[in-house]
C-alpha cells in the first residue's frame, strides 16, 4: 500500500468545463478526497432578469453548447407554461426530434471522443484512428448524423435558430427529413461496430458499485425525454412543481456549483438513472444492446453510465425513426415563411422540466404583465451529480489505495468522465432571489 | 510560422460552443490535424504542451485568475486568436455588465455571494492581452474558422468584414425583418454570416458584434424608413453588446 499519495488533477481533461480531483493520503489514511468544481461563475439567472419572453431561450441556449437544444427546450417549455401557450402536435414532435438528435450527438461525443480513449489507453481519439479506424469512422458518422438531424430541424446544431415560444420560425425540408430517416436506418451497423468494441473493452470499466438513488422523469407512454413527472428509485413518483424541495441545493466550500440531495446523501441523474427507472420503455434494439453488456435495471455501477449512453443511442435512433414516420406520413402541415407563432403575453410563473443528455434539467421563470422576466432559476443535471461523484470517490478511494498513484488518478478521472459532466452548465444552478430594485 | 504550426485551444468563461464547432468539422477535423499539430485541447484530449505558436481562445474574462492565465498564454503564443463572440467582445456574458454587480451576485448566490470571486464585468480577451485575429459569432461559423486557419498558415494578414448584415440579407433575398414588424440588429451588426438567422426565419440578434463605427458604417436606409437611427438601436438592444457599447461610445467620441 502506498503510504503517501498526493493527487492533484487540475482541470480534468476530456470533460466539458473545469473541475479538479484532490486526494491526499498520509500514513495510509485518507486526509482529503474531493471533487472540486472551479468553473468561473456565469450569473445566467441574473442575466435573465429584465429579458423579454422572446429572448429567454436565445440567452439560455448559451449556457452550454453541447446541450444547447436541451436548454432551449426547457426554456421554451417554462415560458409556454408561464403564459399558457399550447404547442401543436407537429411542433411537439419536431421539438422531441431535435432533442433526441442533440442527445444522440452528445452521447456519441462523450462515448467516442471523451471516454473511449481511457478504455484503449490513449490520451485522445486521434491516436485511436491508427488501431481502430473503422470504429472511429463509425463514431464520426454517428456524431454527424446527430448534428445533421438537429440542423435539419433547428437550423443549426449549436444554438438553434428556428425554435420559438409556441413553435418554429421555419419548417424542415421533407426530402431532407426523408434522407435522414434512411441514414438513421443504416446507422445500425455503426452502432454495432461501437458496441462490439465496447463489449471487447468492457473489462476496462472498473467494477465498482455503490447503492444510490436515481432520479429522472417518467412518462406513461414513452421513455421520457421531452416531458413527464419526476420519479425517484427510492420514493417513487414526485411532482415537478416540487422540484426545488426535491433537489435541495446546498453550498459547499469546495465548489462554485451547489451540491444536491433528496432521500439520501446524494442521487444520480443521467442515462443510467433513466435506464434504471424506465428500462421497460426502451425499444427492442436498445434492450438488445443492454443485454450484450448484461445491463439491467437496478445497476449501481456509475462507470456503466457509459454503457447506458450506448443503449440510449440505440433507443434514440429507433424512436427518431418512429417520430419521422409519423411526421412524414401525409406530409407536414404547412406554415407561412418567417412564421411567428401567436402568443398572448401574460404574467405568470412556469417550469420546464426536460430529460437532457446528462439528466433532468429544470428552468423556471416568472414573467410580469409586459412579458419581462422578474425571477429565473435553472437546475442543471451535472450540478445534481456533483454530490454523487463526491460520495463515489469517498467510497472508492480507500479500496484502491494499494494501486500506483497514476492508476488511482486515472480511475478517479474515469469516474468523473463516466458522469459526462458539463461543468460550464452547472455553475449557474443556484436559486435566484429576486431583489426589488 | 513553421510548416505545420503547433496550435492550442483554451477555454475561459463561455459555453465551449466554438470549440464544439471545431469538433463538428467531423471528418475534416482529421484533415485539419494534417496541417496543424494540436498540442492542447483540454475538452477533447489529455495531452498538453506549453510550446505552441497559435492559441485559440474561447470565452470571456471574468476572474483575476482568468487574467493571469491569459497573460501566460499570450507569452507562450506567437499568434492569439479570439474564438467566438465571448472572447472577441464579451458576447452574451456581458448582459450582466448592464446590471449592478452587487445585485447580480445576490440574485444568483443569495447569502453566499461573498464566497464567489468574480470581476464586476465580463470582458473580452483584448481587454487583457493583445489579439492578433478574431473569429466572431455565437457560435463561430465552421467555414470561417477553416479560412482563418488556412490564412494564418499562409501568412495572410487576417481581416474582418465591416459591412452590416443587411448587405448579405439583400444578396440572400430575404424578406426584411423590419417589413415583418420585427426589430432586427442587421443594420448595425458586422456581416460575414450570410444573414443566416434571418434566412432561418427570425431576425439578426447582433451576435457578431457591431460594425467598426456604427454611426458611419450602419445600413441607415432601412433604419430611417422605420424612424430609427443607429444610436437608438445600439442603445436599446442589449444581448451581445454589454461591453462593446460603452467602449465604442468612448472611441467614437475620441474621433
In this structure, are strands A236-238 and A348-356 parallel, antiparallel, or unpaired? Answer: unpaired
pLDDT of residue A437: 27
H-only helix segments in A293-422: 305-328, 381-396, 405-418
Report the alpha-carbon distance of residue A52 to residue B78 in Å, rounded: 43
If you search the block for the grid coordinates 467602449, which residue do you land on? B247
Higher pLDDT, B129 or A408: B129
Is A67 annotated to bind ligand?
yes
* pLDDT at residue A1 in the model: 43
Is the link from the previous residue into B139 a cis peptide, with omega within 30 of 0? yes
Average pLDDT over residues A257-271: 89
**What are the DSSP E strand ranges found in A245-404?**
267-268, 348-356, 359-367, 373-379
Give me the helix-helix angle, A284-292 and A188-201, nearest 10°: 20
CA atoms within 13 A on the CB side of B75: 7
Q: What is the mean pLDDT of residues A236-250?
A: 92
Q: In this complex, is the C-beta atom of B66 within 8 Å of any C-beta atom belonging to chain A? A: yes
List the Cα angle A283/A288/A289 in 5-degree steps: 100
3-state secondary structure at position A130:
helix
**What three-state secondary structure class fits A24?**
strand
CB A357 within 8 A of CB A333: no
Interstrand relation of B79-83 and B37-41 (parallel, antiparallel or unpaired):
unpaired
How far is Cα B193 from Cα B5, in angstroms, rounded to an integer?
A: 27
Q: Do B109 and A50 touch (CB under 8 A)?
A: no
Polymer length in residues for chain A: 437
Strand ranges inside chain B, DSSP E? 6-11, 37-41, 54-58, 79-83, 133-135
In contact, A396 and A415? CB cutoff 8 Å? yes
B91 to chain A: nearest residue by CA? A62
Domains in chain B: boundaries: 6-154, 165-254
Please report, for chain A, the start and end positions of each structural domain, with discontinuous segments joined by +: 45-393+421-426
Q: Three-state DSSP class for B213?
A: coil
Interatomic CA distance for residues B248 and A386, integer angstroms: 41
Q: Complex ipTM, two decimals?
A: 0.96
- A424 contact residues in B (CB cutoff 8 A): 14-16
B137-178, pLDDT tens digit by residue?
Answer: 999 999 999 999 999 999 888 889 999 999 999 999 999 999
The structural architecture, per CATH, of the domain A45-393+421-426 is: Orthogonal Bundle (1.10)
**Please, what is the angle between helix A271-278 and helix A305-328, to 10°?**
70
Inform me whether the C-beta atom of residue A49 falls under 8 Å from chain B C-beta atoms.
yes
Q: Which residue from A340, A357, A349 is spatially nearest to A425, judged by alpha carbons?
A: A357
Q: Do B115 and A251 touch (CB under 8 A)?
A: yes
Share of chain A above pLDDT 90, in %: 75
Size of interface A-B (CB pairs under 8 A): 174
Q: What is the pLDDT of residues A24-72, one digit of tens each?
A: 888 888 888 888 877 677 899 999 999 999 999 999 999 999 999 999 9
Asked if residue A425 belongs to a known ligand binding site, the reply is yes
CB-neighbour burial class of residue A399 (10 A; exposed 0-12, middle 13-18, buried 19+): exposed
What's the rounded mean pLDDT across residues A207-226? 98
Domain B6-154 CATH (choose: 3.40.605.10, 1.10.287.40, 1.10.10.60, 3.40.50.700): 3.40.50.700
Amino acid at each position: 500500500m502506498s503510504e503517501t499519495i498526493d493527487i492533484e488533477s487540475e482541470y480534468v481533461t476530456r470533460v466539458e468545463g473545469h473541475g479538479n480531483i484532490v486526494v491526499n493520503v498520509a500514513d495510509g489514511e485518507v486526509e482529503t478526497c474531493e471533487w472540486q468544481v472551479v468553473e468561473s461563475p456565469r450569473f445566467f439567472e441574473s442575466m435573465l432578469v429584465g429579458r423579454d419572453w422572446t429572448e429567454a431561450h436565445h440567452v439560455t441556449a448559451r449556457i452550454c453548447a453541447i446541450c444547447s437544444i436541451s436548454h432551449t427546450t426547457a426554456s421554451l417549455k417554462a415560458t409556454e407554461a408561464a403564459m399558457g401557450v399550447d404547442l401543436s402536435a407537429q411542433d411537439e414532435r419536431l421539438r422531441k426530434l431535435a432533442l433526441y438528435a442533440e442527445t444522440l450527438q452528445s452521447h456519441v461525443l462523450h462515448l467516442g471522443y471523451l471516454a473511449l480513449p481511457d478504455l484503449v489507453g490513449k490520451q485522445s481519439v486521434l491516436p485511436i484512428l491508427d488501431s481502430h479506424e473503422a470504429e472511429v469512422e463509425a463514431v464520426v458518422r454517428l456524431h454527424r448524423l446527430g448534428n445533421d438531424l438537429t440542423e435539419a430541424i433547428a437550423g443549426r446544431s449549436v444554438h438553434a435558430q428556428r425554435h420559438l415560444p409556441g413553435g418554429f420560425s421555419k419548417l424542415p425540408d421533407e426530402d431532407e427529413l426523408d434522407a435522414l430517416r434512411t441514414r438513421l436506418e443504416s446507422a445500425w451497423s455503426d452502432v454495432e461496430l461501437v458496441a462490439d468494441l465496447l463489449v471487447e473493452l468492457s473489462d476496462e470499466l472498473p467494477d465498482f458499485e455503490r447503492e444510490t438513488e436515481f432520479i429522472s422523469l417518467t412518462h406513461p407512454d414513452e421513455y421520457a425525454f421531452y416531458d413527464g413527472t419526476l420519479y425517484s428509485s427510492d420514493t417513487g413518483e414526485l411532482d415537478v412543481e416540487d422540484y426545488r424541495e426535491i433537489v435541495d441545493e446546498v453550498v459547499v466550500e469546495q465548489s462554485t456549483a451547489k451540491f444536491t440531495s433528496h432521500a439520501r446523501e446524494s442521487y444520480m441523474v443521467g442515462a443510467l438513472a433513466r435506464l434504471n427507472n424506465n428500462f421497460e420503455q426502451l425499444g427492442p434494439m436498445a434492450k438488445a444492446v443492454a443485454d450484450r453488456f448484461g445491463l439491467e435495471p437496478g445497476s449501481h455501477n456509475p462507470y456503466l453510465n457509459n454503457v447506458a449512453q450506448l443503449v440510449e443511442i440505440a433507443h434514440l435512433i429507433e424512436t427518431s425513426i418512429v417520430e419521422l414516420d409519423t411526421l412524414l406520413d401525409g406530409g407536414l402541415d404547412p406554415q407561412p415563411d418567417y412564421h411567428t407563432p401567436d402568443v398572448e403575453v401574460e404574467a405568470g410563473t412556469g417550469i420546464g422540466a426536460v430529460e437532457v443528455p446528462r439528466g433532468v434539467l429544470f428552468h423556471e421563470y416568472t414573467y410580469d404583465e409586459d412579458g419581462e422576466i422578474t425571477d429565473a432559476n435553472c437546475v442543471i443535471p451535472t450540478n445534481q451529480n456533483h454530490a454523487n461523484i463526491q460520495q463515489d470517490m469517498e467510497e472508492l478511494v480507500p479500496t484502491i489505495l494499494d494501486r500506483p498513484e497514476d492508476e488511482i488518478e486515472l480511475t478517479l478521472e474515469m469516474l468523473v468522465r463516466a458522469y459526462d459532466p458539463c461543468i460550464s452548465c452547472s455553475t449557474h444552478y443556484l436559486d435566484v432571489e429576486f431583489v426589488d430594485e | 510560422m513553421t510548416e505545420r504550426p503547433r496550435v492550442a485551444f483554451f477555454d475561459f468563461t463561455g459555453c465551449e460552443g466554438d470549440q464544439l464547432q471545431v469538433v463538428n468539422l467531423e471528418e475534416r477535423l482529421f484533415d485539419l490535424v494534417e496541417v496543424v499539430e494540436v498540442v492542447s485541447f483540454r475538452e477533447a484530449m489529455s495531452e498538453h504542451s506549453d510550446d505552441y505558436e497559435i492559441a485559440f481562445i474561447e470565452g470571456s474574462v471574468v476572474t483575476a485568475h482568468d487574467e493571469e492565465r491569459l497573460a501566460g498564454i499570450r507569452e507562450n503564443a506567437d499568434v492569439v486568436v479570439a474564438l467566438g463572440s465571448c472572447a472577441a467582445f464579451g458576447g452574451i456574458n456581458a448582459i450582466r455588465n448592464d446590471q449592478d454587480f452587487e445585485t447580480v451576485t445576490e440574485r444568483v448566490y443569495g447569502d453566499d455571494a461573498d464566497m464567489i470571486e468574480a470581476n464586476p464585468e465580463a470582458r473580452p480577451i483584448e481587454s487583457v492581452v493583445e489579439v492578433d485575429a478574431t473569429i466572431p459569432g455565437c457560435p463561430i461559423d465552421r467555414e470561417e474558422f477553416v479560412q482563418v486557419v488556412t490564412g494564418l498558415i499562409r501568412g495572410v494578414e487576417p481581416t474582418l468584414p465591416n459591412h452590416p448584415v443587411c448587405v448579405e440579407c439583400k444578396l440572400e433575398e430575404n424578406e426584411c425583418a423590419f417589413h415583418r414588424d420585427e426589430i432586427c440588429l442587421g443594420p448595425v451588426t458586422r456581416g460575414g454570416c450570410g444573414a443566416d438567422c434571418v434566412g432561418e426565419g427570425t431576425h439578426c440578434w447582433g451576435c457578431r458584434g457591431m460594425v467598426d463605427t456604427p454611426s458611419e458604417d450602419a445600413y441607415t436606409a432601412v433604419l430611417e424608413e422605420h424612424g430609427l437611427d443607429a444610436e437608438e438601436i445600439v442603445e436599446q438592444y442589449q444581448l451581445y453588446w454589454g461591453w462593446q457599447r460603452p467602449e465604442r461610445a468612448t472611441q467614437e467620441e475620441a474621433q
